[in-house]
Amino acid sequence: MVTAHVPTELEALSEKPVASASELAGRFPLTRSEHPASQAHYDTVMKELAFGREFTDHMAHMRWTQESGWHDRGVIPYGPLSLAPAASVLHYAQSVFEGLKAYRHDDASIWIFRPSYNAARLNHSAKRLALPEVETEDFLASLVDYVRADAKWVPEGEGASLYLRPFMFASEEFVGVHPAGVVDYYVIGSPSGPYFTAGFTGVPIWVVRGYHRAGPGGTGSAKCGGNYAASLMPQQQAAEKGFSQVCFLDSYEEKYIEELGGMNMFVVMADGSVRTPELSGVILEGGTRSAICRLLRDEGVDVREERIGIDDLVADIRSGKVTEVFACGTAAVVTPIARLASDDFDVEVPIGERTRHIHQRLTDIQWGRASDPYGWMYRID
C-alpha cells in the first residue's frame, strides 16, 4: 500500500506564500562596480561556462551583530574580503551555505527553483551552527537584487544557468570558542554550463568504509563547510582509484547507504517502486530529492524513504531486482550511477529510462519547457 507523504518541516516552510520579486527589489541597494569584467573576458566566460571558477561583477552582502541584527544590506562589487586573521570562521568553521540556480527561459525571463526551500534549509543549518537566522524574504531579496544587477551573467541555452552561492560565516575577531557576535552573509554567482558535457553518461561511485562525513547528533543535515572538509580525504582516495565521488555508509554499522559527498541517492526497483535513504538527521535533505519524490508520487510511483542496506543493494543489482541507481542535487540535477564498488564488490548498473525520465521532467520545469503545477519556480526578472 502507498502511504501518504507527510511534508517535512523544510517542505512545509517552502510552501508558505512570499512576496514577489518586484515587491522585494531594492532591499539590497546596488553600488555599481567601477571595474566590471571586460567584454572579452565576459565573452570567454559565457562561451566556456565552466562550473564555479568565474564569478559575476557583484555580490550581495549584509552583516549581523548581536546589537543591531542584520543590517548594511547591499549589492556591492565582487572582490576579495577583508577578514581579521582571528575571525572565528577561520578557526572553528562556523559557516553555512546554500546552492541554487537562476535559469533563463526562452522569453529571456529569469527564474529560480524553490528558493524558499533553500531559505528554510539555510536557517536549519544556521540554527545547528549557532548562527543567526535570515528572514525568508531577506534571503529572497538578496537573490533578487543580486541577480537583477548581474542579469547579463545568466546564460541561455540547454543546461546553462547562473549557479548561486549564498553563505554566511562568523567574522568576529575572537579566538575563544563561542558563537560569533558578528556574522557576514554574501551571495555570489558563477555562470555554469550543462553538467553532462559528455551526454547522459553514468558515474562510478566508491562506497567508502572507515570514513564518515557525519554521525548521529552531528552536523550531517546542515549544509556547513565542515561536512565537506571531512569528505575530502576519502574523496581524494576514491579519485585516485578512478571514481567520481564516494558514497558514505551509516557510522554505526557501515551497513546502510546514506548519500554521496554532494548528492542524494535513489534506487529504482524492477517492480516499478523507487527507494531513497530516509531522512535520518544525518544526511542533507536535498531540494532535488524532495522534488523528485513529489514528481514520482504524483505519477503514481511507490516512493519509499527507508534504510537501504549496501549488501542487499549489491545483491539486488546482480539479480536484476534493482534496475537503476541515480544521484541528485542542484549542480548535476540527476546523474546516473553506472558502477558501485568497494573493497569487497564491484558491480555495474545499467543507465535506464526512469533516470532519464526524471531528469527530463525536472529540467523541463526548471527551464520553463513544461508547466509548473507546484509553483516551484520564482520569477526574478
Ligand X SMILES: Cc1ncc(COP(=O)(O)O)c(C=O)c1O
Print the binding letters for residues 107-126 with ligand X: x by CB under 6 A, - otherwise.
--------------------
By beta-carbon proximity to ligand X, the closer residue of 123 and 288 is: 288
Binding test (CB under 6 A) with ligand X, winner from 144, 183, 284, 317: 284
Cell numbers 541577480 correspond to what residue?
147
Give CA–CA dist 378/137, Å, rounded. Answer: 12
155 lies in the binding site for ligand X (CB under 6 A): no
CB of 283 to ligand X, least distance (A): 7
263 lies in the binding site for ligand X (CB under 6 A): yes
259 lies in the binding site for ligand X (CB under 6 A): yes
94 lies in the binding site for ligand X (CB under 6 A): no
CB of 99 to ligand X, least distance (A): 5
Give CA–CA dist 365/380, Å, rounded. Answer: 16
Q: Is 143 within 8 Å of 117 (Cβ atoms)?
A: no
189 lies in the binding site for ligand X (CB under 6 A): no
Side chain identity at residue 73, one-letter code: R
Binding test (CB under 6 A) with ligand X, winner from 136, 323, 330, 342: 330
Cα 186 to Cα 98, 162, 164, 176, distances in angstroms: 11, 16, 10, 24
226 lies in the binding site for ligand X (CB under 6 A): no
Contact window for ligand X (CB under 6 A) among 12-20, 35-43, 51-59, 260-268:
260-268
262 lies in the binding site for ligand X (CB under 6 A): yes
234 lies in the binding site for ligand X (CB under 6 A): no
Cα 27 to Cα 74, 138, 162, 167, distances in angstroms: 7, 8, 21, 18
Here the cell at position 271 is 517492480
287 lies in the binding site for ligand X (CB under 6 A): yes
By beta-carbon proximity to ligand X, the closer residue of 87 and 293 is: 293
Binding test (CB under 6 A) with ligand X, winner from 189, 193, 286, 336: 286
CB of 151 to ligand X, least distance (A): 23
Binding test (CB under 6 A) with ligand X, winner from 142, 192, 235, 264: 264
The number of CA neighbours under 13 Å toward the Cβ of 140 is 27
By beta-carbon proximity to ligand X, the closer residue of 74 and 329 is: 329
Positions in the binding site for ligand X (CB under 6 A): 99, 259, 262-264, 284, 286-289, 329-330
